[in-house]
């Protein structure tokens, strides 16, 4: 049997697709996407499409992708998974060549067994055409921001055991991956579901005739479950990082995905700051707006003051830590003054990178029908202004590293006449570096090298490799 996959959306989706690919290959299926497979699209038996539904545009892209494979792989059955499959399963099922919709990611093992796959992997050993590996450690979100559909499409919190994560990290390191990115739908929720049900939960489940954990819980209920466990016995993201650092995997470092500022604990800062060889000093803290009134309208959990204080605390305890963020411009009701406040916070924090998004009304969310929607023209103008301020702050942050050394994971090598000419990689603070090579300093993909940063062109550093002999 021959199969193909397609992925839209986040790093979690990319990981889950790779896990599915691993399962099919492990059970003897042929992967048409594998380099050198030489399998024609008309000979493909199954296409699995992992969809996204974070915006209305994501839904449209998912439908377009399904239509594309219905045409390019006419003899294949299409199976659709992911958030769009969860948000609108009936519409998905009616699309051309769709034979099955799997709306609940928890049922993927069941789906594989229904296809005759006996061996279900616990993790992945490699990711197609990638030099940095993603490891999904958590699924689900229960926060309920006004603009987000994800609590409806992934309502169950589910954390992987630390033993599974550690084993997967070992395997990826053995297979040559030098950076492992820990990712999840809401990474800071890792561990909240690892505690046993409370007596009240058991009684309610018994009275209602259902199994504990079979229905989505509120975030407050998860936190209440955790609170009955002694603090020194709780296990969350900081403790997982501590165990990963203790592995001492050679030439392997870890980077965290997106977090809420409220979820960065003192212990997490200690673990990351105390293990510079294995932990990237990079925190992606979603802010969304710098104005408190807008944050309240968004139903965000933290206001700007505590957010800024957390950023200051991180930088005080981990000098030159890289702080990146997400910001939505043009949220319903956002005034010019409120947008200016966001620009002020960007300057005050000094983010090393800002991901700016123009607000897109997602059907099914509170914000989609909120009054005072902002015009596309105003969103475009604000996004451009934010981009200019973010670029200025990014360059200001980056220039402090010129002349200093950085550890770089090499992800791409350009060659001419069989010899490498330029190597490209990523620093622990998430900057790209280009390194011209010489006849006697060969660099390969997957290498971890010390580089002296010599210049900055836009977002990209230039640098030169520092060999052990030069450092001696």
Q: For residue range 42-97, what is the model confidence (pLDDT) as tens digits?
A: 999 999 999 999 998 999 999 999 999 999 999 999 999 999 999 999 999 999 99
* pLDDT(472) > 60: no
Please choose, from the candidates 81, 7, 91, 100, the residue with its C-alpha nearest in 3D space to the C-alpha of residue 363.
Answer: 91
Q: Which residue spans within 263-348 are E strands per DSSP?
A: 282-285, 322-329
**pLDDT > 70 in the chain, percent:** 96
Evaluate if residue 396 carries a pLDDT over 60.
yes
| Residue 40 banded pLDDT, cuts 50, 70, 90 | very high
Lowest mean pLDDT among 27-41, 190-204, 275-289, 413-427: 413-427
Check: CB of residue 28 under 8 Å from CB of residue 119.
no
d(CA 322, CA 397): 9
Q: Tell me how far apart the alpha carbons of residues 274 and 74 are, in angstroms, rounded to a whole number.
A: 55
pLDDT, residue 444, reads 81
pLDDT of residue 441: 62
> What's the chain's length in residues?
472
Enumerate domains of the chain plus CATH numbers. Answer: 2-114 (3.40.50.12160), 281-400 (3.30.750.200), 405-471 (2.40.50.140)
If pLDDT is split at 50, 70 and 90, which confidence band does 437 have?
A: confident
Instruction: Kindly indicate the confidence band of residue 214, based on its pLDDT and cuts at 50, 70 and 90.
Output: confident
pLDDT value of position 460: 94
The tally of CA atoms less than 13 A away on the side-chain side of residue 247 is 25
Does residue 417 carry a pLDDT above 90?
no
128 — pLDDT class (breaks 50, 70, 90) = low
Confidence of residue 436 (pLDDT cuts 50, 70, 90): confident
Query: At residue 161, does pLDDT exceed 90?
Result: yes
> Residue 30: how many CB atoms within 10 A of its CB?
15
Instruction: Tell me the backbone φ, ψ of residue 318, rounded to 5 degrees.
Output: -125, 90
DSSP E strand stretches across 25-156: 30-31, 46-51, 77-82, 98-102, 132-139
So what's the pLDDT on residue 198? Answer: 84
Q: How far apart are CA 393 and CA 150, in angstroms?
A: 31
| pTM as predicted | 0.92
**Locate tokens 């969860």: which residue?**
86
What average pLDDT does the segment 173-197 reach?
94
Judge whether residue 419 has pLDDT over 80: no
With b meaning 16 or more CB within 10 Å and e meaning fewer, what string describes 204-239? ebeeeeeeeeeeebebeebeebbeeeeeeeebbbbb
Q: Which residues pair with 407 in a beta bridge?
A: 450
Residue 421 has pLDDT above 90, yes or no: no
Per DSSP, the three-state class of 333 is coil
Segment 310-316 shows an average pLDDT of 98
pLDDT above 70 for 327: yes
Do residues 323 and 298 touch, judged by C-beta distance below 8 A? no
Quote the pLDDT of residue 211.
Answer: 87
Instruction: Count CB-CB contacts under 10 A for residue 143.
Output: 16
User: pLDDT category, 466, cuts 50, 70, 90?
Assistant: confident
In which band, very low, low, confident or very high, does the pLDDT at 36 lie, cut at 50, 70 and 90? confident
The mean per-residue pLDDT over the stretch 378-397 comes to 97
Could you tell me which residue, 131 or 26, shows the higher pLDDT?
A: 26
Q: What is the mean pLDDT of the chain?
A: 93
């Amino acid at each position: 049997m021959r199969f193909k996959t397609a992925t839209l959306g986040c790093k979690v989706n990319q990981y889950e697709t790779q896990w599915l690919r691993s399962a099919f290959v492990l059970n003897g299926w042929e992967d048409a996407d594998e380099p050198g497979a030489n399998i024609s699209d008309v000979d493909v038996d199954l296409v699995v499409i992992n969809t996204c539904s974070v915006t209305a545009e994501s839904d449209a892209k998912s439908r377009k992708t399904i239509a594309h494979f219905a045409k390019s792989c006419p003899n294949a059955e299409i199976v659709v998974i992911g958030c769009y499959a969860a948000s609108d399963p009936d519409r998905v099922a009616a699309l051309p060549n769709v034979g099955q919709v799997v709306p609940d990611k928890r049922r993927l093992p069941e789906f594989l067994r229904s296809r005759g796959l006996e061996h279900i992997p616990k993790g992945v050993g490699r990711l197609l055409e990638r030099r940095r590996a993603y490891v999904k450690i958590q699924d689900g979100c229960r926060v309920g921001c006004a603009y987000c559909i994800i609590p409806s499409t992934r309502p169950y919190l589910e954390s992987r055991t630390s033993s599974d994560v550690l084993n997967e990290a070992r395997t990826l390191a053995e297979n040559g991956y030098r950076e492992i990115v820990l990712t999840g739908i809401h990474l800071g929720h890792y561990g909240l579901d690892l505690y046993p049900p409370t007596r009240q939960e058991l009684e309610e489940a018994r009275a209602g005739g259902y199994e504990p954990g079979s229905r989505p819980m509120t975030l407050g209920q998860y936190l209440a479950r955790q609170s009955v466990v002694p603090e020194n016995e709780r296990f969350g993201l900081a403790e997982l990082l501590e165990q990963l650092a203790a592995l001492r995997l050679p030439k392997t470092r870890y980077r965290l995905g997106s977090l809420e500022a409220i979820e960065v604990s003192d212990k997490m800062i200690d673990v990351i700051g105390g293990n510079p060889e294995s932990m990237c000093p990079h925190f992606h803290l979603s802010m969304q707006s710098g104005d408190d009134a807008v944050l309240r309208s968004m139903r965000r959990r933290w206001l700007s003051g505590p957010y800024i204080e957390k950023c200051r605390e991180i930088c005080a305890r981990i000098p030159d830590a890289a702080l990146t963020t997400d910001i939505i411009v043009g949220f319903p009701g956002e005034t010019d003054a409120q947008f200016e406040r966001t620009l002020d916070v960007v300057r005050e924090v000094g983010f090393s990178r800002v991901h700016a998004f123009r607000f897109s009304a997602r059907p099914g969310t509170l914000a989609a029908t909120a009054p005072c929607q902002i015009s596309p023209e105003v969103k475009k103008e604000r996004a451009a202004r934010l981009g200019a301020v973010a670029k200025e702050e990014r360059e200001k942050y980056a220039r402090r590293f010129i002349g200093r050394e950085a550890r770089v994971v090499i992800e791409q090598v350009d060659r001419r006449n069989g010899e490498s000419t330029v190597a490209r990689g990523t620093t622990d603070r998430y900057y790209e570096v280009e390194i011209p090579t010489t006849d006697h300093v060969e660099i390969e993909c997957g290498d971890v090298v010390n580089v002296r940063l010599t210049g900055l062109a836009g977002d990209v550093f230039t640098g030169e490799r520092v060999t052990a002999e030069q450092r001696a």
